Chains A and B, each alone.
Chain A
């Protein structure tokens, strides 16, 4: 099939494609086309939409996090100001934190693009870091060779750690989520910890610690800008971002990986070998994660500590999702998370807000970013309610969210009723109840609240069930339900000294909003559910 010049001329009536000589010129030409292609409107629009989604999710996450902070007694303004200020005052820490996240994010994103879920980046990270540490302390090698060799071996070991799940998936169909996770369990709490605490333990320490000997200084990655934290690994991360971008867009391998990831039957029918692609993709993904571990050891820790990474591999998944699986997005996402982490300590020390709030924010961001994607995935699988959410979000969301809030509200009310009833039982007041109600206003209030809570708890359950069936009477019950939630929240806290004010207030107000919204949607406009999907 190489006679390409003759192929198309007469039959197709056009000029045959001329194979340009000089592969470098064609490659540069391709790159130029890619870069200018980025600025074409539809590509730009897609990127802007993705960035917009990410920013919206972040804002929503911050809003919900503020509510949680308020509910638990912290001041969100103080929290955010110390977070942002603290991070900006230490920019080197931002990029230092981002470095391994860039690499693990790229690892997960690359696997995603090939249609694979590499959940085991953490294990590959650990194995890569252990391998780099071993190369680092084993012998002293020349000054450029040593770190390069350590990085290379770290990357390859990370790739090999993903190789077993890759083979299992390609030839046995074993789902990579399970296998990569299991490999992580082997690597992290067992294998590397054992190595660090046993055969490879640093013998020079007085008190035995599960860590390897320090690596030789020739293996160090240089620091950047004189910072104690930020090191050359960041540059490596950026180079990898560019490398993955070139791979995906400009190479045959990247094309074939993307083809298999988007539509495996079509790729297979066109002659691409999906098994080969699966193995290569997971291997490369593991290499990136292993490299992420390697750079941290060589650049900052300078030896392997058991358990040194508190979830960097899993954060890579978050970064990949936030970055919509594109190399640039991963870079930005990693920097964002680096920013959050850099601000966590100042937030805790200066603002007195626990650093765990960062985990909450991170989790919320993932939730808001992932939720629409999950809905879209379900819609493709022909789940009808997911398709409805996709088609008419303005109409379907108040129904589903309202139903959810009604359920939560009714659970809280029933719990409140149960505890109030419990108090009555413990204090042995039940036999005297009728007289007490008439004489003691406090008791009357107690019983009234208790009854209201029970009644509206049950109503809440009905609303939850009936709203999903789009019954109008559910909405007419929803409005009083939300009002009662608010009232009882107030009563509970102000009169009985409970702590349900904020939660019930939030749920009540939001429930009220959803109730009105559902009313407009279902009663006034008329919902057609189960339409043309």
Chain B
């Protein structure tokens, strides 16, 4: 694996500058060998997806050279890249939910019956779309590809009926259908359970044995260390270095990504939980379609502890936290905060009772992007003193709002130019700090944190985790929901697992390991249900 005789891909001095002098890629030179599994690592905004988009022909490069198998190329669109055998699976799948697997796979490369327009080469692109499609041959080819690569799939299934792991399989089949032998995978494991990740990596091993070249884009550290031959780290648009897996470690990679040594396990003293703050009893909640999303869940969170709820997206955790916060009606069951029955309380009253909420999607539910940072920091509390003043609290007290905002910005180290500028100008990490600051500012007794570090880089994640630990040490009860097992295991004092709306286990981090948690999250293993309530 030392020297590669043929470089499959050579990127030389690639620059990509967006309007407004945004330098997404600065002078990047990267050579990837034939048959190599190469990891492209970096935080959000480091430029890895941009670089691959340039390679794939989705973006034009500002300057530099791209060579495929030694020949210089100039892609005008992904069609050119596909023709040379490059395939890309994106982070957000480009699938049409109501169409079948076959229809999605052939989209853009529909096979025709006979080459009816063979002699009209010049006019073919115009006429071909109007001719009938030969799905039969497509199905046969799909089944053949599935067999050869161990990617079982039903060609007639509709995408919307498939699990996320299977949908990703369709994306892989899509690029194999076009005879790709250079595969670019963008954050492929973001939405997979641990088991599905293992299956994916097995598939990638199969590809490697077939001699395909694979580029894996990720920001998670363990993946490149599992499967890649070499790893390239990007930071802020620049190439920090390329190392061989055998020569490096997670710590070194993290330091290259962030620019300083990174602590993985948050230093925390053992929890000293005291009285119960949140008590949920036999809760039943329905989802938007009226189907049960939370089925008979009971648990407690005590003052001074962090209860982490692990589960794959879509198993009821979002509905659960929305019901506690008051955004969603409780169908059955009770919720108590320090003995006070808060089941029917709406968000405004929950906030007044001493609960803080960090919503799961900061852009959709957490922040109002067109509002200034100042306005976002008081969102939820704008109707109360000190922010409201005048007769019947009608007027906004701009001076106190500004004071409060400045204090929070300082305490949470929020990097921005001006608190009066729209919050859309802040980075994702700083935006999340605003959401957290807003929830924590009023000193809540209970903090509901839903996916608080989603989409954040290592540095921002570390910061938020430290904030959570600090709050815990000051006696706040924290209910943490996350799909990131590492986060749950790092931060929580107790871990609960939710599967299809039911609480399948509660453990301490010492009692369990990632494998068991992964199985529980996938519903494989039913543990003894929650007599561990009173732990």
Residues of A within 8 A of B (CB): 1-2, 4, 7-8, 11-15, 17-20, 23, 26-27, 29-30, 33-34, 37, 40, 42-43, 249-253, 255-256, 258-259, 262-263, 265-273, 465-466, 469, 471, 473, 526-532
Q: Once bound together, how far apart are the Cα atoms of A42 and B418, in whole Å?
A: 10
The stretch of B258-266, B365-373, B502-510, B516-524 that contacts the partner chain: B365-373
The answer to whether residues A252 and B383 also contact, given A29-B399, A532-B53 and a CB cut-off of 8 A, is yes
Closest CB-CB distance, A8 to chain B, in whole Å?
Answer: 7
Q: Would you call A43 and B420 a contact (CB within 8 A)?
A: yes
Residues of B within 8 A of A15 (CB): 407
Closest CB-CB distance, B355 to chain A, in whole Å?
Answer: 11
Closest CB-CB distance, A449 to chain B, in whole Å?
Answer: 28
CB nearest to B422 among chain A residues: A42
Binary contact track B258-302/A, C-beta < 8 Å → 1, others 0 = 000000000000000000000000000000000000000000000
For window 51-108 of chain B, which residues contact chain A by CB distance below 8 Å? 53, 57-60, 76-78
Residues of B within 8 A of A37 (CB): 420
Binary contact track B381-421/A, C-beta < 8 Å → 1, others 0 = 01111111111011111111011100110110000001011
Q: Would you call A12 and B407 a contact (CB within 8 A)?
A: yes
Closest CB-CB distance, B188 to chain A, in whole Å?
Answer: 18
CB nearest to A5 among chain B residues: B386
Q: Would you call B77 and A30 a contact (CB within 8 A)?
A: no
CB nearest to A270 among chain B residues: B380
Q: Would you call A34 and B420 a contact (CB within 8 A)?
A: no
Residues of B within 8 A of A253 (CB): 394
Closest CB-CB distance, B265 to chain A, in whole Å?
Answer: 25
How many A-B residue pairs have C-beta atoms within 8 angstroms? Tell me: 169
Q: Once bound together, how far apart are the Cα atoms of A253 and B383, in whole Å?
A: 8
Q: Once bound together, how far apart are the Cα atoms of A471 and B123, in whole Å?
A: 11
Residues of A within 8 A of B382 (CB): 252, 255-256
Q: Once bound together, how far apart are the Cα atoms of A270 and B439, in whole Å?
A: 10
Closest CB-CB distance, B199 to chain A, in whole Å?
Answer: 29
Let me know if B352 is at the binding interface, CB within 8 A. Answer: yes
Q: Would you call B391 and A26 a contact (CB within 8 A)?
A: no
Q: Would you call B420 and A529 a contact (CB within 8 A)?
A: no
CB nearest to B346 among chain A residues: A271
Closest CB-CB distance, A36 to chain B, in whole Å?
Answer: 10
Q: Once bound together, how far apart are the Cα atoms of A13 and B346, in whole Å?
A: 31
The answer to whether residues A255 and B400 also contact, given A12-B411, A269-B347, A528-B60 and a CB cut-off of 8 A, is no
The answer to whether residues A7 and B443 also contact, given A33-B399, A528-B57 and a CB cut-off of 8 A, is yes
Q: Would you call B327 and A252 a contact (CB within 8 A)?
A: no
Closest CB-CB distance, B474 to chain A, in whole Å?
Answer: 6
Closest CB-CB distance, B421 to chain A, in whole Å?
Answer: 6
Residues of B within 8 A of A268 (CB): 327, 347
The answer to whether residues A252 and B404 also contact, given A7-B442, A26-B389 and a CB cut-off of 8 A, is no
Binary contact track B339-371/A, C-beta < 8 Å → 1, others 0 = 000000011101110100101000011111111
Q: Would you call B368 and A250 a contact (CB within 8 A)?
A: no
The answer to whether residues A20 and B400 also contact, given A11-B443, A14-B410, A526-B76 and a CB cut-off of 8 A, is yes
Sample 20 A-B pairs with CB under 8 A, ordered by A number.
A1-B384, A15-B407, A26-B390, A26-B400, A30-B398, A33-B399, A40-B420, A251-B394, A252-B387, A259-B379, A262-B370, A263-B367, A265-B364, A266-B367, A268-B327, A269-B365, A269-B366, A272-B348, A529-B77, A531-B59
Residues of B within 8 A of A465 (CB): 126
Residues of A within 8 A of B408 (CB): 12
CB nearest to A15 among chain B residues: B407
Let me know if B441 is at the binding interface, CB within 8 A. Answer: yes
Q: Would you call B398 and A34 a contact (CB within 8 A)?
A: yes
Q: Would you call B396 and A251 a contact (CB within 8 A)?
A: yes
The answer to whether residues A252 and B394 also contact, given A11-B443, A19-B385, A259-B371 and a CB cut-off of 8 A, is yes
The answer to whether residues A271 and B126 also contact, given A42-B421, A255-B375 and a CB cut-off of 8 A, is no
Q: Would you call A30 and B58 a contact (CB within 8 A)?
A: no
Closest CB-CB distance, A5 to chain B, in whole Å?
Answer: 9
Q: Once bound together, how far apart are the Cα atoms of A253 and B53, in whole Å?
A: 46
Q: Once bound together, how far apart are the Cα atoms of A130 and B282, in whole Å?
A: 58
The answer to whether residues A269 and B327 also contact, given A34-B398, A255-B396 and a CB cut-off of 8 A, is yes
8 Å CB contact of B354 from A1, A40, A527: A1
Q: Once bound together, how far apart are the Cα atoms of A471 and B124, in whole Å?
A: 12
Closest CB-CB distance, A332 to chain B, in whole Å?
Answer: 22
The answer to whether residues A23 and B347 also contact, given A33-B398, A252-B395 and a CB cut-off of 8 A, is no
Q: Once bound together, how far apart are the Cα atoms of A27 and B385, in whole Å?
A: 13
Q: Would you call A30 and B379 a contact (CB within 8 A)?
A: no
Let me know if B20 is at the binding interface, CB within 8 A. Answer: no
Q: Once bound together, how far apart are the Cα atoms of A27 and B67, in whole Å?
A: 65
Closest CB-CB distance, B60 to chain A, in whole Å?
Answer: 6
Residues of A within 8 A of B398 (CB): 26, 29-30, 33-34, 250
Binary contact track B19-31/A, C-beta < 8 Å → 1, others 0 = 0000000000000
Q: Would you call B58 and A17 a contact (CB within 8 A)?
A: no
Q: Once bound together, how far apart are the Cα atoms of A346 and B359, in whole Å?
A: 60
Closest CB-CB distance, A61 to chain B, in whole Å?
Answer: 28
Closest CB-CB distance, A272 to chain B, in whole Å?
Answer: 8
Closest CB-CB distance, B55 to chain A, in whole Å?
Answer: 12
Q: Would you call B60 and A252 a contact (CB within 8 A)?
A: no
Q: Would you call A266 and B402 a contact (CB within 8 A)?
A: no
Residues of A within 8 A of B359 (CB): 266, 269
Closest CB-CB distance, A257 to chain B, in whole Å?
Answer: 11
Q: Would you call B77 and A530 a contact (CB within 8 A)?
A: yes
8 Å CB contact of B369 from A12, A263, A270: A263
With A17-B400, A20-B399 known, 11 other A-B pairs at CB within 8 A are A1-B442, A2-B385, A8-B443, A19-B386, A250-B398, A251-B396, A262-B368, A262-B370, A270-B380, A528-B76, A532-B59
Residues of A within 8 A of B351 (CB): 1, 271
Q: Would you call B126 and A466 a contact (CB within 8 A)?
A: yes
4 nearest A-B pairs in the assembled complex, by CB-CB distance: A271-B348, A30-B398, A270-B380, A271-B347
Q: Would you call B76 and A252 a contact (CB within 8 A)?
A: no
8 Å CB contact of A269 from B126, B357, B371: B357
Residues of A within 8 A of B53 (CB): 531-532
CB nearest to A19 among chain B residues: B386
Q: Would you call A267 and B368 a contact (CB within 8 A)?
A: yes
8 Å CB contact of B368 from A34, A259, A471: A259
Q: Once bound together, how far apart are the Cα atoms of A263 and B366, in whole Å?
A: 10
Q: Once bound together, how far apart are the Cα atoms of A267 and B383, in whole Å?
A: 13
CB nearest to A462 among chain B residues: B126
Residues of A within 8 A of B390 (CB): 23, 26-27
Residues of A within 8 A of B371 (CB): 258-259, 262
Q: Would you call A250 and B395 a contact (CB within 8 A)?
A: yes
Q: Once bound together, how far apart are the Cα atoms of A14 and B410, in whole Å?
A: 9
8 Å CB contact of A30 from B50, B352, B397: B397
Closest CB-CB distance, A7 to chain B, in whole Å?
Answer: 5
Q: Once bound together, how far apart are the Cα atoms of A349 and B442, in whole Å?
A: 68
Closest CB-CB distance, A407 to chain B, in whole Å?
Answer: 17
Residues of B within 8 A of A271 (CB): 346-348, 350-351, 380
Residues of B within 8 A of A34 (CB): 398
Residues of B within 8 A of A26 (CB): 389-390, 395, 397-400
Q: Would you call B368 and A266 a contact (CB within 8 A)?
A: yes
8 Å CB contact of B403 from A17, A265, A266, A532: A17
CB nearest to B403 among chain A residues: A17
Residues of B within 8 A of A269 (CB): 325, 327, 347, 357, 359, 365-366
For window 110-134 of chain B, which residues contact chain A by CB distance below 8 Å? 122, 125-126
